[in-house]
């Protein structure tokens, strides 16, 4: 499968590129600064581009079979990047006839906020409202755009991210059917996203995942 990874220089995106290559996919990594991307493979193409630049994004989307959006930022003041980025991504996918979209979000975004508040008082009612209200609102708006896209989408909502080694199994929770664990390694999030390329199990759904 020909796969575009957006946000390829980030923690999740870098792992997603590596895992997709291991699974035999042909991967295009979109990066604002290709020189900052150090992976090399005969099935890997690194393209300069930006999700906020529709022209470069459209060129990267053309000819793909699926898109993995791994957008993220450590800048808490960047509260529209994910929404604007996915809006441009959806427009490019519609233009070029690409239907499969897998998006990196977070447990606590959108309609999963009540579950987060119930399961983690400290994070859901103190840390997130005080420090991360803007980024989580951005993710919620991003999810709204994805749900309304008409594409074959999956929204992946990991719990707190860690740089620990990958675990053997990932816990998946849909809706309010179970308790989401406290954290999950970046590598497992990327691996779960790549696994969805070969599965329609979570199409049109937003699974929460944890270690």
Residue extents of the structural domains in the chain: 2-210
Please return the burial class of 197, using the count of CB atoms within 10 Å of its CB with bins 0-12, 13-18 and 19+: middle
**Averaged pLDDT score across all residues of the chain:** 93
Q: Looking at residues 83-90, what average pLDDT do you find?
A: 98
pLDDT in tens, 109-147: 999 888 888 887 667 666 777 667 888 999 999 999 999
Distance, in Å, from the CA atom of 207 to the CA atom of 63, rounded to the nearest integer, reads 28
pLDDT at 195: 98
- Give the pLDDT confidence score for residue 121 in this predicted structure: 64
pLDDT tens-place string over residues 90-105: 999 999 999 999 999 9
Per residue in 154-171, pLDDT tens?
999 999 999 999 999 999
Q: What is the dihedral of CA 96, 189, 155, 43, to 10 degrees?
A: 10
Q: Out of 3.40.50.300, 3.30.360.10, 3.40.50.720, 3.40.640.10, select the CATH number for domain 2-210.
A: 3.40.50.720
């Amino acid at each position: 499968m020909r796969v575009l990874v957006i946000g390829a220089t980030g923690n999740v995106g870098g792992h997603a590129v590596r895992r997709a290559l291991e699974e035999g996919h042909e991967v295009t990594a979109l990066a604002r600064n290709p020189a900052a991307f150090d992976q090399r493979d005969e099935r890997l193409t690194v393209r300069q581009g930006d999700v906020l630049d529709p022209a470069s994004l459209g060129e990267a989307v053309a000819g793909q079979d699926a898109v993995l959006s791994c957008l993220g930022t450590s800048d808490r003041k960047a509260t529209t990047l994910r929404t604007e980025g996915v809006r441009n991504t959806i427009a490019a996918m519609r233009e070029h006839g690409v239907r499969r979209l897998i998006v990196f979000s977070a447990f606590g975004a959108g309609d999963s906020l009540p579950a987060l508040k119930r399961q983690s008082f400290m994070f859901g009612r103190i840390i997130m409202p005080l420090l991360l209200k803007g980024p989580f609102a951005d993710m919620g708006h991003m999810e709204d755009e994805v749900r309304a896209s008409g594409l074959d989408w999956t929204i992946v909502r990991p719990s707190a991210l860690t740089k620990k080694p990958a675990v053997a199994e990932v816990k998946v929770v849909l809706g309010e059917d179970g308790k989401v664990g406290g954290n999950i390694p970046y590598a497992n999030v990327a691996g779960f996203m790549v696994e969805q390329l070969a599965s329609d199990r979570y199409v049109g759904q937003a699974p929460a995942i944890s270690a």
